[in-house]
Amino acid sequence: MSFDIKKIREDFPILKRKVNNAPLVYLDNAATSQKPQQVIDCIVAYYSNYNANIHRGVHSLSQEATDAYEKARKTLQLHFNAAHSHEILFTAGTTESINLVASGFSELLKTGDEIIVSALEHHSNIVPWQMLCERTGAILKVIPMNEDGTLQMDRYSNLLNDNTKLVFVNHISNALGIINPIKKIIEQAHQVGAAVLIDGAQACSHIKADVQALDVDFYVTSAHKMCGPTGVGMLYIKEAWGKTLPPYQGGGEMIATVTFEKTTYAEMPHKFEAGTPNICGGIAFGAAVDYLNSIGFDAIKKQEEALLSYATEQLLQIDGLKIYGTASEKTSVISFNVSEIHPYDIGTILDKLGIAVRTGQHCTQPIMDFYGIPGTVRASFAFYNTKEEVDALVNAVKRATMMLS
């Protein structure tokens, strides 16, 4: 299928909007993606036609809703190439997925055990582990980063030892867009018997991860980064870990039998899915993954790489502009500053011109401290962005620089 950008943009109603009297140029895709009509229609169809609680009714509506929800789970299983559909858990998002694993491990870890995280992590991937360490007496170690935004892999090898129980790294860093060598990270962790959780929140809109080929233990993401709705996400949990980890929350759906003496837990995935889930969100998550696959990840990659290299080349012609995260393995994210101008000032002027970017620390204060900067301006591109929008960005940055110098 050829890549018809005009047709693709037609799928996203929000892209027709104006902001501050200028056409919206949406370059904050790393924060959340926009939603195609196909996903919006799916949400409307659910509430209009077959809204019912799932897994508990014999009536037809409940059956339809259950079937659609489980079909979405199957869609995710196939997309991420999980061995079983019960290894796919629906959660509220990346943050909850991480907390679910952290909570499970709080019963498995003991004083002296070690956890490794990377210096590139999102706060949501640092804080739960710090809390876990406080609860269990485990020690948190950090893989340091290089100037170009890559991880110091030799330091990682040295951090691994028999006490290492868990390693947590993001697939792609949200502040810089650098792709981490997760296959190598997983292999080395497994050599010392440690489990690995990969945070795929930034990766899943760009790369199709294969959890079996990676041999990863936990892989997490949020639907809203993948053209799906907010409030729903995924935890891939390798079957063996699903059996080992205790349930996360108590409630309906997650039990097999209940008496006041003893409750036995349901099998995966229900063991980890207490209460009525975000049914519509789960179904729409499946629709979003179908949508991305209908565009095709090869086509997405090609378009985003073209945008990235064009934008990088154009932005670098601006005097005093510095890009953070310059390693070659990266996705369509450009984090930058111009001379000593504060990122907040540039972001404010860009907004006036209808251009949405993110400014600040991007929930990654350790990375900003590493570079000794208050933050960056981050432009993040999706497959529905265009070369013209890159031009609009570059012109706006020039204008902002002129006003602010």
Partner 1 sequence: MTIKEIQEELIDEFAMFDDWMQKYEYMIDLGKTLPLIDAEKKTDDKLIKGCQSKVWLNSEMQEDKIVFTADSDAIITKGIIAIMIRVFSHQTPDAIVAANTDFIAEIGLQEHLSPTRANGLVSMVKQMKLYAIAYQATNK
Ligand X SMILES: Cc1ncc(COP(=O)(O)O)c(C=O)c1O
What character string, x for contact with partner 1 (CB under 8 A) and - otherwise, covers 283-322?
----------------------------------------
42, 204, 280, 363: which one is catalytic?
363
- Are 244 and 272 in contact by the 8 Å Cβ rule? The answer is no
- Tell me the two tokens of residue 192: 């010392």
Report what 122 binds from ligand X, partner 1, none; CB cut-off 5-8 Å by kind. ligand X
What character string, x for contact with partner 1 (CB under 8 A) and - otherwise, covers 354-383?
-----xxx------------xx--------
The residue (of 125 and 376) whose beta carbon lies closer to ligand X is 125
Query: Using the rule CB under 6 A, is 201 a contact of ligand X?
Result: yes
Q: Which of 171, 111, 184, 173 is nearest to 148 (CA)?
A: 173
**The only residue of 95, 331, 337, 376 in contact with ligand X, by rule CB under 6 A:** 95
Report what 211 binds from partner 1, ligand X, none; CB cut-off 5-8 Å by kind. none
Active site residue 133: no
Q: What are phi and psi of 51, to 5 degrees?
A: -65, 120
The residue (of 50 and 371) whose beta carbon lies closer to ligand X is 371
The residue (of 246 and 374) whose beta carbon lies closer to partner 1 is 374
The residue (of 74 and 342) whose beta carbon lies closer to partner 1 is 342
Count of other CB atoms within 10 angstroms of residue 63: 14
**The only residue of 41, 344, 369, 388 in contact with partner 1, by rule CB under 8 A:** 344
Query: Using the rule CB under 8 A, is 342 a contact of partner 1?
Result: yes
Query: Using the rule CB under 6 A, is 331 a contact of ligand X?
Result: no
Least distance from C-beta 170 to ligand X, angstroms? 5
Query: Using the rule CB under 6 A, is 77 a contact of ligand X?
Result: no
The residue (of 65 and 197) whose beta carbon lies closer to ligand X is 197
- Tell me the two tokens of residue 390: 């890159």
Rounded Cα gap, residues 399 and 396, in angstroms: 5
The residue (of 145 and 201) whose beta carbon lies closer to ligand X is 201
**The only residue of 349, 350, 357, 368 in contact with partner 1, by rule CB under 8 A:** 349
349: Cβ contacts below 8 Å, ≥ 6 apart: 396, 399, 400, 403, 404
The residue (of 232 and 341) whose beta carbon lies closer to ligand X is 232
Least distance from C-beta 402 to partner 1, angstroms? 10
The count of C-alpha atoms lying within 13 angstroms of the C-alpha of 279, restricted to the half-sphere facing its C-beta, is 21
Count of other CB atoms within 10 angstroms of residue 382: 23
Burial label, 259 (beta-carbon count in 10 A; 0-12, 13-18, 19+): exposed
Report what 401 binds from ligand X, partner 1, none; CB cut-off 5-8 Å by kind. none
- Residues between 160 and 199 that touch ligand X (CB under 6 A): 170, 174, 199
Burial label, 405 (beta-carbon count in 10 A; 0-12, 13-18, 19+): exposed
**The only residue of 29, 66, 124, 337 in contact with ligand X, by rule CB under 6 A:** 124
- Tell me the two tokens of residue 316: 């670098």
Report what 348 binds from partner 1, ligand X, none; CB cut-off 5-8 Å by kind. partner 1
Report what 169 binds from partner 1, ligand X, none; CB cut-off 5-8 Å by kind. none
Report what 403 binds from partner 1, ligand X, none; CB cut-off 5-8 Å by kind. partner 1
Rounded Cα gap, residues 327 and 330, in angstroms: 7
Torsion from C-alpha of 53, 59, 65, 68, nearest 10 degrees: 140
Report what 345 binds from partner 1, ligand X, none; CB cut-off 5-8 Å by kind. partner 1
- Residues between 13 and 32 that touch partner 1 (CB under 8 A): 20
Query: Using the rule CB under 6 A, is 222 a contact of ligand X?
Result: yes
Sheet holding 376-380, edge to edge: 321-324, 333-338, 376-380, 358-360
Question: Which positions lie near partner 1, rule CB under 8 A?
Answer: 20, 341-342, 344-345, 347-349, 352, 359-361, 374-375, 403-404
What residues act catalytically?
363
Question: Which positions lie near ligand X, rule CB under 6 A?
Answer: 93-95, 122, 124-125, 170, 174, 199, 201-202, 222
